[in-house]
Each structure stands twice: as structure tokens, then as C-alpha cells.
Structure 1
Amino acid sequence: MRRGQLPLSVLEVAIGVVVILSVTLGFALGPPAADARGPQLEAYATDVATVLANEQPRHGGSTRLREVVASEAAFDRERGALERRVERILPGNVLFRIETPHGSVGLAQPRQTVTGTAVVPTGAGQVSVEVWYA
């Protein structure tokens, strides 16, 4: 009983072709690009929160954020100025929403959007900053 055997050189050529095709496809397709938007958005949100948490108040309080969350009347009075200030901090292609215990400033976040978030505790409650690309 004779068994048919493949010559060793044919087997080596087949394995070589598979390896070369694998390497070629690896370079041609490459790894998927990393999503660098998330970390950049986190940095933007942290920057906004840091600036507002350390900025001098316009009327009263120890910081800009403490002034805004001091009362509902203070929030209503400072709402427009807070929105303008955050618009100046962020690049033009980044939108935002700031949530305070007395209300929010900015746009509603679209669903299924990559965002960056920062939360700042104040004596009167937490303030959250959320940013995303337009």
C-alpha cells in the first residue's frame, strides 16, 4: 500500500506564500487607528473645570463656581456670563454642557457621542462639565 506524499519543497512553498501574504496584508490593512478624541475631550473638560474652580468670582464667593452654585438667584444672574466664559475657554469646534444644582448651561448632549467629563465638588453641590466635538 503506497501513500501519496507531497514533496517537501511544495509544502515549504505553500507555507512561505501564506506567511508572505499574512505579512503583506498586515502592512496593507494595518492596525485600527486609536480613538484619540476621548482623551483630548477629557483634557478640555478638566481645563474648563480647573479654570472655573480657580477663577475669581464676579460678585461674591470664593471662586467663580462657588458663586454660581451659591443660590438659584446667583445662578440665574451668572448664567449668561458663565456660558460666555466657557465658550472663550474651549475651541470653536467643541460644544459643552455644565450641570449645577440650580440649573444647566450649554447644549443638550447628542446621543452616542464621545464626550469628556469633569466633576467639581463645591460646598453647595457638584458641578459637572461635559464637552464633545461639534
Structure 2
Amino acid sequence: MRDADRGQLSIPVIEAAIGVVLVLAVVVGFTLGVPHPDGTERQLDAYAHDAATVLAEEPPRHGGATRLEEVSASAARFERERAALEERLTRVLPANCMFRVTTPHGTVGYPRPAGVPVGEATVPTAGGPVTVEVWYV
């Protein structure tokens, strides 16, 4: 038998090798990072919902039940309130967000870019649905 010719690794050498592999695995994990869930769409939806809620609950500037009712009532009212609606949304939303509000009589805000995450909220009004879209700059 040739069993006497076989060498064996000592236990401390095996433990050291496992320890090195473990340390390298941890270092690689921190270096490459762990993917985290992207909450961008949920946050944008929350911004859009909050902005729509503020507009739906605010009193109108001239007539109607709410500010959104006023801007969706007619094309003339929408044109009269367009600048005030844009200014109000600029104050309500964070500075790093852009927006677009679509009413039955027109839109306020910025053109929606292609390929970016967008949050959206729609509020039904007597004049038709009003949709608020929000995205990051």
C-alpha cells in the first residue's frame, strides 16, 4: 500500500484558505455592490398623487368647487388659470421634478421626455379627467 506516501493538509491551512475565500467574497460583494430595489416610480407616483390631491382640495381662484374643477370646466377658464396652475405646481413639487397636467381643454407644464420613469395620478372632475404626470429632471 502506498498510503504512507500521501500527504495531508493540516487543519489550520484549510481554515486559512476558507477564511481567505470568505474575506475575498465579502470584499467583492462590497466592491460590486448589491442591487437594491428601485423605488423611483413609486416615489414619482406619490409626488403626482400629492400634487393632484392639493389641486383637488384647493378652493378655486374664480369659480367652481375646486381648482381642478375650475380649470376643467371650459377652455376659457383653463386659459385664464393656466399660468396660476403652473406656478402652483412649481411650488408644490420638489425642485428636481418636472410636471405636466393634462385637462380636457389643454395641458400645462413641460413636454414629457421619452424613456424616463414617470409618476401619474388622475382626478375625475365634472369637466373630465385631469392627469398629473411627474418625472425627475
Report the TM-score, using the length of structure 1 for normalisation.
0.81
Question: Which structure 2 residue ranges, 5 or more long, are not aligned?
Answer: none
After superposition, the C-alpha distances for 1:83-115 in whole angstroms (9 at most, x for unaligned) are: 111111122221110011111000001111122
Taking every aligned residue pair, what percent have the same amino acid on both sides?
A: 58
Aligned to 2:88, which of 66, 75, 85? 85
Unaligned ranges ≥5, structure 1: none
> Which amino acid in 1 is paired with 2:88?
R
5-14 or 19-28, larger mean C-alpha shift: 5-14
TM (norm. structure 2) is 0.80
Determine the structure 1 residue equivalent to 2:58.
Answer: 55
Residue in structure 1 matching 2:113, options 102, 110, 114: 110
SS of residue matched to 2:129: strand
> Counterpart of 1:122 in 2: which secondary structure?
coil
Superposition CA RMSD, Å: 2.5
Pairing of 1:109-128 with structure 2 (within 5 A): 109-128=112-131
Q: CA deviation at 1:72?
A: 1.4
**Cα pair distance change 1:57/1:6, threshold 3 Å:** farther
Measured after TM superposition, the shift of residue 37 of structure 1 is 3.2
Three-state SS of the structure 1 residue aligned to 2:38 is coil
Amino acid at match of 2:127: A
For residue 125 of structure 1, give the secondary structure of its aligned residue in structure 2: coil
Alignment partners' CA distance in 1, 2:7 and 2:80 = 86
The answer to whether residue 37 in structure 2 is matched with residue 27 in structure 1 is no
Distance 2:22 2:96 in 1: 45
Say which of 94, 97, 119 aligns to 2:97. Answer: 94
